[in-house]
């Protein structure tokens, strides 16, 4: 079955950044890309007439974005669709049909601009699949893939994702742990992360480093020069796995300096027996 990636678009420069990033990844992985422009019906509070006008405008925008994507597809299968609903809830609800969901953001130290980018933490907290958030300012000299670890059992899914991306990109992998917990717990988290990276069967160089807390700030700083920054998100059973994103993930997304992927994983008891 062909892998598919979903891109939430809104006609902004930020969403085009997400399209370009996703198309590049799709070319390398053999995936197809679906563009989705969602007309926000504001929970059904807008009139039928206004909704019709918004849909007509959206149809024109999605055609322009479709043309933009096809011109850069390089053989990647691309589809474009318009739907009506709450943008983040719609993307999260449909995410299970895809391998990854991507959105763009106008990044200037915190989120600004269009609805999609400004609600990235909401999507990342609900999606059952990895969420990529791509800022418009992702250029410059970049190297390495960074993954944050915190000692939570199950976060090997995020480490494995980062390791595979590092291997695919031919970049070294850095396992980053904020030095804000018990040393023994942190050491075990790093050791396990290194084992998870090795188990992923990658050839990339893997190193680890401690950083000063808070973890979200440390990852945000690294994201300014990394090709990709990865962080995990524990999920809960039921309710489509919803669980608040947490301080680390939120701080990272609100201050990212390059592409970030939030990887969900099943919540478990952290090392040392402490509850999450």
The Cα–Cα gap between 86 and 64 comes to 22
The 10 Å CB-count burial string (b at 16+, else e) for 145-177 is bbbbbbbbbbbbbbbbbbbbbbbebebebbbbb
| pLDDT (0 to 100) of residue 139 | 65
| pLDDT (0 to 100) of residue 237 | 62
The Cα–Cα gap between 154 and 241 comes to 14
Q: What's the 3-state SS for 138-180?
A: CCCCCCCEEEEECCCCCCHHHHHHHHHHHHHHCCCEEEEEECC
Q: Which two tokens mark 75?
A: 């053989």
Domains and CATH numbers, the chain: 4-135 (3.40.50.620), 145-273 (3.40.50.12370)
| pLDDT (0 to 100) of residue 229 | 98
| pLDDT (0 to 100) of residue 274 | 35
Residue 144: left if φ>0, alpha if ψ -120 to 50, beta else—which one?
A: left
| pLDDT (0 to 100) of residue 42 | 66
Residue ranges of alpha helices (H) inside the chain are: 13-29, 48-72, 87-94, 115-118, 120-126, 156-169, 183-199, 215-223, 247-254
| pLDDT (0 to 100) of residue 272 | 43
| pLDDT (0 to 100) of residue 114 | 38
| pLDDT (0 to 100) of residue 185 | 52
Full-model pTM: 0.86
User: Most distant CA pair in the chain: distance in Å?
Assistant: 62
Q: pLDDT tens digits for the chain (276 residues)?
A: 679 999 999 989 999 999 999 999 999 999 999 999 998 876 566 767 776 777 777 788 899 999 999 999 999 999 999 988 889 999 999 999 999 999 998 764 543 433 444 578 889 999 999 999 999 876 678 999 999 988 777 888 999 999 999 999 999 999 998 766 555 455 676 777 777 777 776 667 888 888 877 889 999 999 999 999 999 998 876 555 567 788 899 999 999 999 999 999 987 654 443 333
| pLDDT (0 to 100) of residue 206 | 87
| pLDDT (0 to 100) of residue 252 | 93
């Amino acid at each position: 079955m062909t892998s598919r990636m979903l891109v939430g678009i809104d006609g902004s420069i930020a969403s085009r950044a997400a399209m370009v990033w996703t198309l590049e990844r799709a070319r390398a992985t053999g995936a197809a890309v679906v563009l989705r422009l969602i007309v926000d019906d504001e929970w059904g509070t807008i009139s039928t007439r206004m909704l019709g006008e918004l849909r007509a405008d959206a149809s024109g925008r999605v055609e322009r974005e479709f043309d933009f994507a096809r011109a850069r597809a390089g053989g990647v299968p691309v589809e474009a669709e318009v739907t009506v609903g709450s943008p983040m809830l719609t993307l999260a609800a449909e995410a299970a049909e895809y391998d990854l969901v991507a959105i763009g953001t106008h990044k200037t130290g915190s989120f600004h601009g269009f609805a999609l980018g400004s609600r990235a933490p909401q999507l990342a907290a609900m999606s059952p699949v990895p969420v990529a958030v791509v800022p418009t300012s992702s250029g410059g000299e970049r190297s390495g893939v960074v993954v944050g670890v915190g000692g939570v059992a199950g976060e090997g899914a995020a480490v494995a994702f980062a390791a595979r991306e590092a291997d695919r990109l031919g970049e070294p992998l850095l396992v980053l742990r904020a030095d804000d917990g018990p040393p023994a717990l942190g050491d075990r988290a790093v050791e396990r992360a290194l084992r998870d990276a090795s188990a992923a069967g990658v050839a990339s160089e893997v190193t680890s480093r401690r950083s000063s807390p808070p973890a979200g700030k440390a990852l945000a700083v690294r994201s300014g020069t990394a090709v990709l920054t990865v962080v995990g998100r524990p999920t809960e059973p039921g309710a489509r796995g919803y669980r608040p994103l947490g301080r680390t993930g939120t701080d990272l997304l609100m201050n990212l300096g390059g592409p970030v992927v939030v990887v969900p994983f099943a919540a478990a008891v952290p090392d040392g027996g402490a509850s999450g």
